């Protein structure tokens, strides 16, 4: 089968992914094989191919916002049937027995494995996954509309939940890519007021189109204090900006898996019982709850499509904020 394979991480401008023919995987006990239709692009993919994340193995096929069709069942796999459409996200497996798994925080499992990092992901024509780590997708979303929901959406949902923001609260979104353009729709559905901090003119226009109450840069002063803020851009300096704009007792949530160093700051920025908290992955229950909410809203994903063989170019476009909304690789020719 065709796959974009990473053998040695390096800057995406140097084209680290190589189109290759690799062996098609076979579903083992309790697993399903997914014939991939499309796969969303994520900044975590960029951090993987550029070596910002330690790689447990190489070569590896990245990609963890996978939409496809079940075409093979392993022994004892009974949740899905051949022909079902499913989604596969970042969380690939957990041990199910540790203190975190037993307490409902499996996202913190020390033995968790991740799609496209520990196991081959969706930049390929097929992949295998345990059936209990795949999800049925709401029928109203097309394949390419559904792909960004599986990480950008799920992580954004968890970040919004952790922010503690509620009806009529003022929430700031720092960075306005794939995740933020979904979160703003959830926040508006829950009657929050949304303030967007982003540099790109196209991102500002999309934010206003989706109902932002105000848009500006991180250095700008919004018209009101924020009750909470979510930082999506992996820039540590934004932490200081967000804390300046958040009221006493407010929360600043870091939604990225990696970030540049946070600069030294004066204690007064966090004084007043302000809370700074990271998001680490997401649970399967987060995915189930978010997909149900996304269907209810309903969430509209803004998508730009790229063919599988253009994965390097697509990641470079995402790196430089040249994608409006979310980027998605069309893997099967039926999807393009």
9-56 pLDDT, tens digit per residue, is 999 999 999 999 999 999 999 999 999 999 999 999 999 999 999 999
Name the phi and psi angles at 160, rounded to 5.
-65, -40
Domain with CATH 3.90.180.10 in the chain: 2-150+282-330
Q: Which two tokens stand for residue 144?
A: 């390419």
d(CA 147, CA 140): 13
Peptide bond into 59 cis (omega under 30): yes
User: What mean pLDDT is predicted for residues 198-217?
Assistant: 95
- Residue span(s) of the chain under CATH 3.40.50.720 come to 153-278
Q: pLDDT tens for residues 228-262?
A: 999 999 999 999 999 999 999 999 999 999 999 99
* 141: exposed, middle or buried (Cβ count in 10 Å: 0-12, 13-18, 19+): buried
Confidence tier at 66 by pLDDT (50, 70, 90): very high
| N residues, the chain | 336
Of the CA atoms within 13 Å of residue 5, those in its CB half-sphere come to: 12
User: 65 to each of 225, 329, 330, how far by Cα in Å?
Assistant: 35, 10, 12
Q: Which helix (H) or strand (E) holds 66?
A: strand 66-73
- Which phi and psi (to 5°) does residue 247 adopt? -70, 170
Q: Tell me: pLDDT of 165 over 80.
A: yes
Give yes or no for residue 264 having a pLDDT over 90.
yes
Mean pLDDT along residues 77-86: 98
- Phi and psi at residue 181, in whole multiples of 5°? -75, -15
Determine contact, residues 96/103, Cβ cutoff 8 Å: no
Average pLDDT, integer, range 313-318: 97
Which fold, 153-278?
Rossmann fold (3.40.50)
- Total Cβ atoms within 10 A of residue 309: 12
Instruction: Say if CB 315 and CB 30 are below 8 A apart.
Output: no
Distant-in-sequence, close-in-space partners of 49: CB < 8 Å, separation ≥ 6: 6, 9, 10, 12, 16, 17, 62, 315
Place of tokens 């996304």: 294
The SS3 assignment for 296 reads: helix
The whole-number pLDDT of residue 334 equals: 65
Please report how many Cα atoms fall inside a 13 Å half-sphere around the Cα of residue 212, on the Cβ side: 25
The predicted structure's pLDDT at residue 335: 58
Stretch 173-182: mean pLDDT: 95
Q: Where residue 332 falls among pLDDT bands split at 50, 70, 90?
A: confident
User: How confident is the prediction for the chain on average, in pLDDT?
Assistant: 96
Among candidates 182, 176, 188, which has minimal Cα distance to 65?
182
Backbone angles phi, psi at 248, to 5 degrees: -60, 140
Q: Where are the alpha helices (DSSP H) in the chain?
A: 43-49, 99-102, 143-146, 152-163, 180-189, 201-209, 237-245, 284-296, 311-319
336, pLDDT greater than 60: no
Using the predicted structure, report yes or no on whether residue 333 has a pLDDT greater than 80: no
Residues 103-113, mean pLDDT to the nearest whole number: 97
Mean pLDDT of 68-97: 98
Homologous superfamily (CATH) of 2-150+282-330 is Medium-chain alcohol dehydrogenases, catalytic domain (3.90.180.10)
Would you state the pLDDT for residue 85? Answer: 98
Tell me the three state secondary structure of residue 50. Answer: coil
């Amino acid at each position: 089968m065709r796959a974009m394979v990473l053998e040695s991480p390096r800057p995406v401008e140097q084209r680290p992914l190589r189109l290759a023919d690799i062996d098609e995987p076979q579903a083992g006990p309790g697993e399903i094989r997914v014939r991939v239709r499309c796969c969303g692009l994520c900044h975590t993919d960029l951090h993987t191919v550029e070596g910002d994340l330690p790689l447990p193995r190489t070569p590896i096929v990245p990609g963890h916002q996978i939409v496809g069709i079940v075409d093979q069942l392993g022994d004892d796999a009974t949740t899905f049937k051949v022909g079902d459409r499913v989604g596969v996200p970042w969380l690939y497996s957990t041990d199910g027995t540790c203190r975190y798994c037993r307490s409902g925080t499996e996202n913190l499992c020390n033995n968790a494995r991740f799609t496209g990092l520990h196991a081959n992901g969706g930049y390929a024509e097929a992949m295998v996954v345990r059936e209990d780590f795949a999800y049925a997708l709401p029928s109203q979303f097309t394949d390419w509309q559904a792909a960004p929901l599986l990480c950008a959406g799920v992580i954004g949902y968890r970040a919004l939940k952790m922010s503690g923001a509620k009806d009529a609260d003022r929430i700031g979104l720092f960075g306005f890519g794939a995740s933020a353009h979904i979160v703003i729709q959830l926040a508006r559905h829950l009657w929050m007021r949304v303030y967007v901090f982003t540099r790109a003119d196209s991102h500002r226009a999309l934010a206003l189109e989706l109902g932002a109450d105000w848009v500006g840069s991180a250095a700008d002063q919004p018209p009101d204090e924020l009750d909470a803020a979510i930082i999506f851009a992996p820039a540590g300096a934004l932490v200081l900006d967000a804390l300046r704009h958040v009221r006493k007792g407010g929360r600043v949530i870091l939604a990225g898996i990696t970030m540049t160093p946070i600069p030294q700051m004066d204690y007064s920025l966090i004084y007043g019982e302000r809370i700074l908290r990271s998001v680490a992955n997401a649970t399967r229950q987060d995915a189930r709850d978010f997909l149900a909410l996304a269907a209810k809203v309903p969430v509209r994903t803004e998508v730009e499509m790229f063919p599988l063989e253009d994965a390097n170019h697509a990641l470079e476009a995402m790196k430089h904020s040249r994608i409006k909304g979310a980027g998605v690789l069309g893997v099967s020719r039926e999807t393009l």
